[in-house]
């Protein structure tokens, strides 16, 4: 059983405190997950994996997308991040036997994710359930399970994070799994794996610094953009997932239209809808696509868009071109940046919700009905039958 530090419980009463508390959770997540990963991903277990699939819905899928490249880098095994329905209804029919299928579901009760796990087992895959509930349906279906949150206080109460720390926990766990597989295959020395774990642990301080540095800029921008109806969010590499995650927080919190797009594809698609006053948020950490991000910032501004940049202040050329900067510390491995770069987008969504309210406004009965319909659709959907 995991207990949370007092400061986490104190902060969760304040919506912004949910974001502020995430740095404090990093060491807890690491200490909870590392022994489970070591037990499950032994050299014997990993030596014959032909492919890796990271499967989920919503934020769980985005965690898989953000982690895909770390698997490719460390394990040298082809890795795909796949929506659960796409996997369970289509791709699973063609996966190589012995493939590792990590099914990610924080609740452990999402029908499509359960279906993906069940059908992957039928196809002879090694199925690992990554969840936040030790007693979930996913842990019953998956032969191997990793639980990143234990029950709190011996009951069903769980940290109220609106999915924020859950995304973080899933992503950290996936990084640890990738490193452990690489160690088992002889591609990574144990000391190097420990170095990665220390890098992850050190991100706790970086996350705290980022929240402090971006609290006021995100609030000021939320005031400025309070009447905007849509926000384009762009990212590349592991941070395409950050754009997707940030868009989801705008949809879930203030009920605003967050439109995620891969950095390059904006120039091929959303460019046609970008004009005076369009809000374009660009996730551009120092890394392989920073030069293209600079060009996109210039293009967006040239047609009248408001260019909001998430990057390190040390990226001088980029910073000089942006209308608004959400500053993030430099020196982070690009593969780890999604853990930090999600934070300003979380803050922005919460500021916009505080300023505008949760739109569209509906009465309590209508909101309850909507939530019930969605929950039923996600968790009580009929599973795929034998064909």
User: pLDDT tens, 38-57?
Assistant: 999 999 999 999 999 999 99
For residue 11, the model assigns a pLDDT of 46
CA geometry: angle at 166 spanning 50 and 67, to 5°? 30
Read off the pLDDT of residues 232-252 as tens digits, 9 standing for 90 and up. Answer: 999 999 999 999 999 999 998
So what's the pLDDT on residue 155? 34
How far is it, in rounded angstroms, from Cα 153 to Cα 4? 10
Q: Is the pLDDT of residue 383 over 80?
A: no
Asked if the model's pLDDT at residue 101 lies above 90, the reply is yes
pLDDT above 80 (res 378): no
Q: Is pLDDT above 70 for 65? A: yes
pLDDT over 60 (residue 360): no
Task: Give residue-wise pLDDT tens across range 68-98.
Answer: 999 999 999 999 999 999 999 999 999 999 9
Q: What is the pLDDT of residue 367?
A: 65
Residue 4 has pLDDT above 80, yes or no: no
Rounded Cα distance between 209 and 328, Å, is: 8
- Strand 79-83 and strand 144-147: pairing? unpaired
The DSSP call for residue 332 is -
Q: Quick: pLDDT tens for 257-304.
A: 999 999 999 999 999 999 999 999 999 999 999 999 999 999 999 999
pLDDT of residue 19: 87
Strand partners, 146: 130
pLDDT category at 164 given cuts 50, 70, 90 is: low
Outline which parts of the chain fall under CATH 3.40.50.10490: 6-188, 205-356
Burial class (CB in 10 A: 0-12, 13-18, 19+), 209: middle
pLDDT recorded at residue 358: 64
pLDDT more than 90, % of the chain: 78
- pTM for the predicted model, two decimal places: 0.89
Mean local confidence (pLDDT), 355-377: 65
| Residue 254 vs residues 23, 24, 228, 361: alpha-carbon distances, Å | 24, 26, 11, 10
Q: What is the mean pLDDT of the chain?
A: 89
Beta bridge partners of 308: 281, 324
Q: What is the pLDDT of residue 5?
A: 52
Q: Is the pLDDT at 161 greater than 50, yes or no? A: no
Q: Shortest CA distance to 212 belongs to which of 30, 350, 6, 17? A: 17
The pLDDT score that the predictor gives to residue 253 is 87
In 57-134, where does DSSP find H-type helix?
59-75, 84-89, 111-122
Instruction: Quote the percentage of the chain above a pLDDT of 70.
Output: 85
Position 99 scores a pLDDT of 98
**pLDDT for residue 159 is more than 90:** no
The residue with greater pLDDT, 261 or 255, is: 261
pLDDT value for 162: 45
**What is the pLDDT at residue 151?**
37
Q: Give pLDDT, residue 17.
A: 79
> What average pLDDT score do residues 325-336 get?
96
- Sheet with 52-56: list strands edge to edge: 79-83, 52-56, 100-104, 126-131, 144-147
| Over residues 147-167, mean pLDDT | 54
Which runs of E-coded beta strand occur in the chain? 52-56, 79-83, 100-104, 126-131, 144-147, 230-235, 257-262, 279-283, 306-311, 324-327
- The pLDDT assigned to 382 comes to 73
CATH 3.30.470.20 fits domain 205-356: no
The highest-level CATH class for domain 6-188 is alpha beta
Q: Is the pLDDT of residue 195 over 90?
A: yes
| Residue 153 pLDDT class (50, 70, 90 cuts) | very low
């Amino acid at each position: 059983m995991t207990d949370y530090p007092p400061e986490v419980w104190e902060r969760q009463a304040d919506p912004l405190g949910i974001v502020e508390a995430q740095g404090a959770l990093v060491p807890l997540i690491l200490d909870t997950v590392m022994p489970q990963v070591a037990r499950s991903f032994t050299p014997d277990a990993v030596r014959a994996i032909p492919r890796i699939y990271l499967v989920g819905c919503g934020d769980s899928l985005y965690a898989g997308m953000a982690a895909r490249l770390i698997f490719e880098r460390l394990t040298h095994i082809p890795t795909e991040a796949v929506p659960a329905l796409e996997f369970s209804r289509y791709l699973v029919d063609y996966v190589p036997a012995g493939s590792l299928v990590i099914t990610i579901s924080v609740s452990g009760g999402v029908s499509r994710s359960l279906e993906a796990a069940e059908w992957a087992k039928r196809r002879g895959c090694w199925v690992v359930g990554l969840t936040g509930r030790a007693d979930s349906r996913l842990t019953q279906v998956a032969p191997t399970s990793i639980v990143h949150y234990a029950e709190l206080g011996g009951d069903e109460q769980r940290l109220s994070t609106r999915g924020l720390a859950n995304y973080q926990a899933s992503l950290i766990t996936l990084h640890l799994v990738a490193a452990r597989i690489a160690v088992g295959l002889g591609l990574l020395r144990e000391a190097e794996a420990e170095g990665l774990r220390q890098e992850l642990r050190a991100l706790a301080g970086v996350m705290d610094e980022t929240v402090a540095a971006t609290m006021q800029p995100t609030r000021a921008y939320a005031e400025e953009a309070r009447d905007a109806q849509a926000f384009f969010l762009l990212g590349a590499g592991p941070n395409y997932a950050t754009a997707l995650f940030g868009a989801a927080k705008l949809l879930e919190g203030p009920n605003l239209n967050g439109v995620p797009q891969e950095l390059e594809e904006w120039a091929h698609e959303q460019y046609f809808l970008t004009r005076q006053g369009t809000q374009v948020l660009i996730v551009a950490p120092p890394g392989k696509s920073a030069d293209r991000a600079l060009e996109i910032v210039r293009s967006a501004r040239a047609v009248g868009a408001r260019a909001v940049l998430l990057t390190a202040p040390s990226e001088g050329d980029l910073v000089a071109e942006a209308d608004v900067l959400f500053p993030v510390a430099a020196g982070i491995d690009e593969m780890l940046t999604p853990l930090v770069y999600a934070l300003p987008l979380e803050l922005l969504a919460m500021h916009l919700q505080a300023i505008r309210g949760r739109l569209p406004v509906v009465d309590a009965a209508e909101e309850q009905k909507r939530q019930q319909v969605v929950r039923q659709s996600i968790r009580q959907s009929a599973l795929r039958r034998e064909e």
